[in-house]
Structure formats: C-alpha cells, structure tokens
Amino acid sequence: MSTGSLTWQEGKTQVAGVGVHMIEGGSGDPILVLHGEMGQTVPLRYAESLAQDFTLHMPAHPGFGVTDQLDWIMSVRDLASWYLRVIEELGIGRVNILGFSLGGWLAAEMACQSPQTFRKMALVAPTGIKPPTGEILDMFLITTREYFEENFVDFNSTPEYSTAYPAEPTPEQVELWECSREESARLTWRPYMYHAALPHLLGRLQDLPTLLVWGEQDGVIPVSAGEVYQQAIQGARLEIIPNCGHHPEMEQTDEFVHLVRDFFK
C-alpha cells in the first residue's frame, strides 16, 4: 500500500491468539496507533507526516471488521489487557501510544494497567470519561453517515473526509463500518462510552508524559471530559484546537502533527 511518498506494509500478524490486521510504516521510535469506534482507515496525511520521524504500528481491533472477534473480550478493559500482550509479543515496548476517541480510552486503560510499558501517551478526544458538562453523542441514535458528519465542524471543507468516509463506499467498506458499530456497542453500551472508575485509576499515571488533544467544537466528546482527564493524570497537558471538531488529525492536520511530533520527540 502506498500513500504519498511512503510505502506501508499491510497484512495479518499472528499475535496474542489471533491474526491481527496491521498497517506499518516509517522509521524511528515506534508509535502504537489505536483507531476509534468506526474502525481502521487507510493511513491519512497525519500518519504520513509522523512516519517521517517514527515507525507507526496501526492494528485493527478484534471484531472491527478485519481482525477476527475474540468472544472473551467483553469490555474496553478486557481489550486493553489483550493489547498489552500484543505489545509484549511484538517486542515494541517501551512504546509511544497514540489513541483516537475509543482508541484513546483504550490507551488510557492500558496505561492504568501497565504504565511502565509506555514511554509517552497522546490521547485525541478520548471517550472513557463521563463529561461533567454536555453529553457524549450517542452514535446509535443516528445513521452511520450522520455520525461521520457530526464529527466535523465542516466536513465539506475537510479534504480527507472523503478519503476516510467515501460518499460511495464499497460493500466491503460498509460491512467494516457496521462491524465496527456492532463491536463498539458490545464493548461500551452500558454505561455508554465511559468507565466510572477511570478517573480514579488514572491517578496511577504519575510518571507518564501525557498529551491530550481536543477540538474546541467537538460535537462528540465535550471538552469538559478533557478537563477531567487533565485533572486525573498528573502533569497532563491539554491542547484545544480552535475551528475543529472530533478529528483534529483531519480538520487541522498541520497543527495536530506539530503538537504530536514535538511531544513524542
């Protein structure tokens, strides 16, 4: 797979009891990139940019369409425990970790269980905490297309929107989205998209440098949840990007890459 000037390696790696669909590329220190609730996408421009300085490992979570479901994984905490085994078997720790939305919650749960596994952690508008002001958008009350559109301040002006979420998707892409919605529901339904204990568990992360990135106009996860994350993780830095929704890596790519690259260096 090629995007821009970079060739990505794509395939299945047998690890932790399942064939994990993995996209990998770049050079430098490793970053484990965890996708959000709507599944894995092709590498976007932010990944191309980060891959100039880092080696990106981008797995597809079990049950999200391309990696087989593991029936025993019934919660985000279960999934986090499984991913710690993946890191061990891949031999990439101490690793930087970058998580988007549901993948950010997953990264936070992993860090709570094994903070020594990680060098630095960047969370991009993570779910996992109930916002004190506002509500998490319920993706299951609207269509998949409506949910995609709610993720952006202006999806029509976001060049990579059509790359990630094409207007005329293939049947295989539609199936991937539906598998992702189904697995997200299975893992996060009650309570919806948060873990009440997480703010207390995050107090363990006293020595893990943490960056939180949020779009100021995020219509999916209110910024107030980011403030709770910042308060819970000692020394965490919260960066709020204006004119941006739930996907700063697509809506404000240059600013996003600048923040993340400088943080992980």
User: How far apart, in whole angstroms, are the C-alpha atoms of residue 118 and residue 243?
Assistant: 31
pLDDT for 5: 67
Beta bridge partners of 241: 215
User: How far apart, in whole angstroms, are the C-alpha atoms of residue 43 and residue 36?
Assistant: 14
Instruction: For the chain, list the domains and their CATH numbers.
Output: 13-264 (3.40.50.1820)
Residue (of 185, 205, 230) closest to 75 by Cα position: 185
Residue 93 pLDDT grade (very low, low, confident, very high; cuts 50, 70, 90) = confident
pLDDT digits (tens, 9 = 90+) for 169-215: 999 999 999 999 999 999 999 999 999 999 999 999 999 999 999 99
The model scores a pTM over 0.95: yes
Please determine, for residue 67, whether its predicted confidence score (pLDDT) is greater than 70: yes
DSSP letters, 49-108, are HHTTTEEEEEEPPBTSSSBPP-TT--SHHHHHHHHHHHHHHHT--SEEEEEETHHHHHHH
